[in-house]
């Protein structure tokens, strides 16, 4: 293999495929990036951890075709420290690769590409095709990914449910203590879908997706895998098997209390309360209490001391007296863009709903901490 390519293009695409490279795998080949030069003007780089695979095409001047696997961390660090110039790559029959840039020459040991696992192929001609905005998908992931569970004992909750009824697309994440839902109207011709996609794959995909309003992404599915295609970059992720929780059924229809409050004022008050809490200990929650209908008291206490702060609110229904994990409240408030929000409380043991005052595009459910 022998080729030349732009250093910055190489850096950008190495960074992308590294998102699918295992960082501590005992199988050495999985710590590598597969580089394939099979055409005259492009090379393909691949990272794959057996769960998520990413392929990236890089423009190159290929004078001799071939392939090799290089250690992802070492190769990436070398490329990033090269001078800003054209990079020449060449490999030999002993799986060594020569990296040349200006007056800099590296020669590192590679691995046999035949041992690199192949990413599952999805037949794009026979699978369902979904076209949507990259920016929209990126925002929907970012508004919900924080609520994905890290507990592997419930595999379906370690992913987000991407589901459509044929017009409304929803991305839903639940970790057993909270739930985040982002809904968007997609039009009557949008297909019905129901996937559970691993949180790690979605998190990495969101970092690759563009913020450009005009950029599109195409999704293709098979029985077990989902392909995200944005042209020069493709990600394949396995789908999680099982049935996701019926999330609509756990949203209370008739809350005992409805508060309307300034989002930033509540966020700042809870954020200040965390200075006293400084721990995820259930014994140190943030407390929401009301002694009168127009004032919400946000308080916290720990061995560090205590804090109390009053916020103006409008309330319908019962006065509140409830405890929450402060981090869960902050995560919800940071992901709503509206200035004024609606907080629905169901006593000190029922779920709390936080959402914009108008519509239900964003819905966040938090379970209180029982006293």
Which residue among 89, 115, 141 closes a domain?
115
pTM for the whole structure: 0.93
In this structure, the answer to whether residues 234 and 288 fall within a common structural domain is no
In this structure, the answer to whether residues 233 and 280 fall within a common structural domain is no
In this structure, the answer to whether residues 102 and 133 fall within a common structural domain is no
pLDDT tens column, 297-338? 999 998 889 999 999 999 999 999 999 999 999 999 999 999
pLDDT tens column, 154-199? 999 999 999 999 999 999 999 999 999 999 999 988 999 999 999 9
- The pLDDT > 90 percentage for the chain reads 86
Question: Using N-to-C axis directions, what is the helix angle for 134-142 and 199-208, rounded to 10°?
Answer: 130
Angle formed at CA 324 by CA 322 and CA 330, multiple of 5 degrees: 130
191 domain residue, yes or no: yes
Which residue among 247, 266, 296 closes a domain?
247
pLDDT mean over 217-232: 94
In this structure, the answer to whether residues 272 and 219 fall within a common structural domain is no
Q: Which domain holds residue 261?
A: 251-366
Give the CA distances from residue 111 to residues 15, 58, 68, in Å, rounded to whole numbers and listed in that order. 20, 21, 6
In this structure, the answer to whether residues 184 and 80 fall within a common structural domain is no
124 domain residue, yes or no: no
371 domain residue, yes or no: no
CATH code at position 35 = 3.10.150.10
C-alpha to C-alpha distance for 244 and 78, rounded to whole angstroms:
43
84 domain residue, yes or no: yes
In this structure, the answer to whether residues 63 and 145 fall within a common structural domain is no
Please classify residue 332 by burial: count the beta carbons closer than 10 Å to its beta carbon, then call 0-12 exposed, 13-18 middle and 19+ buried: buried
Which residue among 195, 220, 247 closes a domain?
247
Do residues 3 and 62 make contact, with C-beta atoms less than 8 angstroms apart?
yes
Q: What is the pLDDT of residue 279?
A: 67
123 domain residue, yes or no: no
In this structure, the answer to whether residues 143 and 241 fall within a common structural domain is yes
pLDDT confidence band for 371 (50 / 70 / 90): confident
In this structure, the answer to whether residues 153 and 228 fall within a common structural domain is yes
Non-local (6+) Cβ contacts of 4 within 8 A are: 60, 61, 63, 86, 87, 88, 89
φ, ψ for residue 271, nearest 5 deg: -60, -40
30 domain residue, yes or no: yes
In this structure, the answer to whether residues 84 and 148 fall within a common structural domain is no
Q: What is the pLDDT of residue 92?
A: 95
122 domain residue, yes or no: no
Mean pLDDT (the chain) is 94
In this structure, the answer to whether residues 235 and 268 fall within a common structural domain is no
In this structure, the answer to whether residues 263 and 355 fall within a common structural domain is yes
Domain count, the chain: 3
In this structure, the answer to whether residues 139 and 172 fall within a common structural domain is yes
In the predicted structure, residue 24 carries a pLDDT above the cut 80: no
């Amino acid at each position: 293999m022998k080729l030349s390519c732009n250093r910055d293009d190489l850096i950008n695409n190495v960074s992308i495929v590294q998102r699918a490279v295992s960082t501590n795998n005992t199988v050495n080949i999985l710590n590598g990036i597969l580089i394939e030069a099979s055409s005259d003007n492009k090379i393909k780089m691949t990272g794959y951890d057996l769960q998520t695979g990413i392929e990236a095409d890089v423009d190159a001047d290929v004078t001799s075709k071939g392939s090799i696997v290089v250690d992802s961390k070492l190769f990436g660090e070398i490329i990033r420290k090269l001078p800003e110039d054209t990079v020449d790559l060449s490999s030999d029959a002993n799986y060594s690769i020569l990296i040349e840039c200006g007056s800099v020459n590296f020669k590192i040991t590679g691995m046999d590409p035949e041992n690199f696992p192949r990413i599952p192929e999805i037949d794009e001609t026979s699978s369902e095709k979904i076209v949507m905005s990259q920016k929209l998908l990126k925002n929907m992931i970012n508004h919900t990914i924080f609520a994905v569970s890290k507990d592997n004992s419930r595999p379906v909750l370690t992913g987000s449910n991407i589901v459509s009824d044929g017009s409304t697309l929803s991305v839903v994440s639940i970790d057993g203590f909270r739930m985040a839902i982002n809904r968007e109207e997609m039009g009557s011709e949008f297909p019905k879908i129901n996937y559970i996609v691993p949180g790690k794959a979605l998190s990495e995909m969101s970092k690759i997706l563009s913020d450009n309003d005009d950029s599109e992404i195409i999704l293709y599915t098979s029985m077990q895998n989902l392909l995200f295609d944005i042209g020069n970059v493709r990600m394949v992720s396995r789908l999680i098997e099982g049935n996701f929780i019926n999330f609509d059924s756990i949203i209370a229809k008739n809350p005992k209390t409805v508060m309307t409050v300034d989002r930033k004022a509540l966020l700042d008050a809870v954020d200040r309360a965390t200075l006293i809490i400084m721990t995820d200990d259930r014994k140190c929650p943030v407390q929401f209490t009301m002694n009168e209908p127009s004032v919400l008291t946000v308080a916290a206490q720990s061995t560090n001391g205590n804090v109390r702060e009053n916020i103006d609110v409008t309330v319908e229904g019962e006065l509140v007296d409830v405890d929450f994990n402060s981090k869960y409240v902050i995560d919800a408030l940071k992901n709503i863009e509206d200035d004024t929000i609606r907080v629905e409380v169901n006593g000190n043991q029922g779920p709390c709903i936080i959402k914009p005052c108008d519509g239900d595009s964003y819905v966040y459910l938090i379970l209180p901490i029982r006293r």
